Amino acid sequence: MDNLIALLIAAPLLGAAVLLCGGRRLDGIGHWLGTLLAGASFVLGAVLFVDMLDRSAGHRTVTKHLFSWVPVEGFQADVGFQLDQLSMTFVLLITGVGTLIHIYSIGYMEHDENRRRFFGYLNLFLAAMLLLVLADNYLLLYVGWEGVGLASYLLIGFWQHKPSAATAAKKAFLVNRVGDMGLSIAIMVMFTTFGSFTFPAVLGGADGASSGRNTAIGLMLLLAACGKSAQVPLQSWLGDAMEGPTPVSALIHAATMVTAGVYLITRSGAVFNAVPDVQTVVVIVGGVTLLFGAIVGCAKDDIKKALAGSTMSQIGYMILATGLGPIGYAFAIMHLVTHGFFKAGLFLGAGSVMHGMNDEVDMRKYGGLRKYMPVTFVTFGLGYLAIIGFPGLSGFFSKDKIIEAAFAKGGTEGWILGAVTLLGAAITAYYMTRVMILTFFGEERWKHAKTPSPDQPSVEPAAETHGAHDEPHPHESPKSMTIPMIVLAFGSVFAGGIFGIGDRFVKWLEPITSFSHGDSPVGQWTVTAATIVCLLVGVGLAIAQYGRGPVPVVAPRGSLLTRAARRDLLQDDFNHVVLVRGGEHLTRSLVYLDHSLVDGVVNGTAASVGGLSGRLRKLQNGFARSYAVSMFGGAVVIIAATLLMRAV
């Protein structure tokens, strides 16, 4: 049975290799092959899941040693896999949602001549992510980690003929490199501390290691998580990553990539539990990102960017929960899974809307689409209800638990975190309602938009066949796109209930992450009631602002905060001023130092030696008598010295 683990990764990897090396002759079947292999991976995952359920909770972990990777004296690196409850959860999410996105892409990318290459990249993405979650040591995890970075680069820049997409891909890659550096440093520190980087050695030894080492490892792992999971301060790539095709956004935001950071922190829980200070930093990062993403999401008119802000915010919830320690790990992963469902559904819905609207992304040019796209409307709507935490749907169970856990942290900290998470819930409700109203309700603003606005010239290749660009003709998407959306909508509705009722999910993960209840100063039902009140306030505000009366097609100037939020709360400006300018100044001063000091020493030595020898050359004047003088003088000096020595 444990041989299947390797096959789980091999299937999409094979797909990637065949599709990327096979060339144009596979154009006809490439998308089917890619989807088939992703599906095969899901089936294997399901088989392993059933097999795992057969065993008792304590014996569910399966390990599989594949081969020795670097068999060197004193440095043992193996390729081995570890499938436990945590990995299993990720495997099912990655392959399940991944397969649905593959199916969706068949329709979405139908008119793209590079569809085969696209599917190759998608398979590569799945393979890298599976490697990341299945590795049994940090070094192999790092391979998957880098693979995810590479695949995201290739996919975000898939339409590389658009300069904006190429730039966005580069940006994502570069920002991720900062995080990757953190992970590599963490692995090095692990090796010097524990002499190994397998999970049992590191996590088992974390309690015994010095707090300095644990702090270093924890902070570096957090940096890594910030990079992949788009947390402050490494969040800036996520918004630009929307340049990729919409299924890519769904894949990055729901099933892969951004979940990697949450996985890393949860997996390394023992290290974080050992140093409460680092946990506090994790909580702060999560809390700040939670509000940051939510505020950005409120101001964006681009439907995908609004959803991107929302992802950032929801991942902030998860990171915050992981920072709470054993109180929060299980809920972080639970929210991750439910978020995987509804965020994938929302992105695929957004893609479907764009598909029907000539790839227009500005929500101010939508409106009233519920009549034209009923399936998209219903599935998107269910995803919307799930993400705002409407009672009974997925998001309600998972987000409510995180808010409870935040209060259960105890003390002043608990109150602050609880307030932040509640505020986040209210803002989430506000911006998602805004997206919903602007897109599906209100008057049909696209009818007045005679010409595509000049700042949205990017007509994706898929739009070429839609004929007239003057006025969009909203229509429902093909079956290959709507079916995955329907499946995801089911997940958005029921997943939370299945996981949450009776604490099933917590019990499932408990052997891996451990669990403690904490002591909440407020009752469970009080928190739930407060959450629902926040939710209603958010929804009410959005309806008051956008639901009553016409929405201007051109965005009004807005307040200072709105304008800042439209510019992603000045994240790029900050990076530009502090990092780019700072870097330029640093390099310039280094160049100056190089020219003046280093070159100065070298050139100065050469010049002084040259000058000295020029002077010495003057002595060689060719006059025999002057040579005689020097010989005579030399003899006198030697004799004088000899006599002097004698005398002394």
Partner 1 sequence: MNPVNYLYLAALLFTIGAAGVLIRRNAIVVFMCVELMLNACNLAFVCFSRLHGNLDGQVIAFFTMVVAAAEVVVGLAIIVSLFRSRHSASVDDASLMKL
Question: From the CB of 594, what's the least distance to partner 1, in Å?
Answer: 36
User: What is the crossing angle of helices 524-542 and 374-388, to 10°?
Assistant: 130
Nearer to partner 1 by Cβ, of 591 and 629: the residue is 629
Q: How far is CA 368 from the centre of its chain?
A: 33
Q: 296, 393 in Cβ contact below 8 A? A: no
Q: Which of residues 565-624 bind partner 1 (CB under 8 A)?
A: 617, 620-624
Nearer to partner 1 by Cβ, of 602 and 635: the residue is 635
Question: From the CB of 602, what's the least distance to partner 1, in Å?
Answer: 27
**Residues ≥6 apart with Cβ < 8 Å to 77:** 68, 69, 70, 137, 139, 140, 197
Pairing of the two strands 75-83 and 62-72: antiparallel
Question: From the CB of 632, what's the least distance to partner 1, in Å?
Answer: 6
Nearer to partner 1 by Cβ, of 591 and 639: the residue is 639
Nearer to partner 1 by Cβ, of 628 and 643: the residue is 628
H/E element holding 226? helix 211-228
Q: Which of residues 615-634 bind partner 1 (CB under 8 A)?
A: 617, 620-625, 628-629, 632
Residue 567 is which amino acid?
R
Number of helices (H), then strands (E), belonging to the chain: the values are: 26, 2
Q: 438, 313 in Cβ contact below 8 A? A: no
Taking alpha carbons only, the member of 518, 513, 365 closest to residue 446 is 365
Question: From the CB of 622, what's the least distance to partner 1, in Å?
Answer: 3
Size of the site for partner 1 (CB under 8 A): 10
Nearer to partner 1 by Cβ, of 58 and 622: the residue is 622
Nearer to partner 1 by Cβ, of 160 and 630: the residue is 630
- Which letter, b or e, does each residue of 407-444 get, where b requires 16 or more Cβ atoms within 10 Å of its Cβ? bbbeeeebeebbebbbbbbbbbbbbbbbbbbbbbbbee
Nearer to partner 1 by Cβ, of 53 and 629: the residue is 629
Question: From the CB of 588, what's the least distance to partner 1, in Å?
Answer: 45
Nearer to partner 1 by Cβ, of 67 and 623: the residue is 623
Nearer to partner 1 by Cβ, of 72 and 624: the residue is 624
Q: What does the alpha-carbon distance between residue 181 and residue 40 come to, in Å, rounded to a whole number?
A: 34
**Binding letters toward partner 1, positions 523-562, x by CB under 8 A:** ----------------------------------------
**Binding letters toward partner 1, positions 287-326, x by CB under 8 A:** ----------------------------------------
Residue 136 is which amino acid?
D
Residue 647 is which amino acid?
A
Question: From the CB of 626, what's the least distance to partner 1, in Å?
Answer: 9
Question: From the CB of 603, what's the least distance to partner 1, in Å?
Answer: 25
Largest distance between two CA atoms of the chain: 120
Question: From the CB of 646, what's the least distance to partner 1, in Å?
Answer: 17
Three-state secondary structure call for residue 77? strand
H/E element holding 78? strand 75-83
Question: From the CB of 634, what's the least distance to partner 1, in Å?
Answer: 13
Query: Binding to partner 1 by residue 467, rule CB under 8 A?
Result: no
Residue 55 backbone phi and psi in degrees, to 5:
-95, 160
> Which parts of this chain interact with partner 1 (CB under 8 A)?
617, 620-625, 628-629, 632
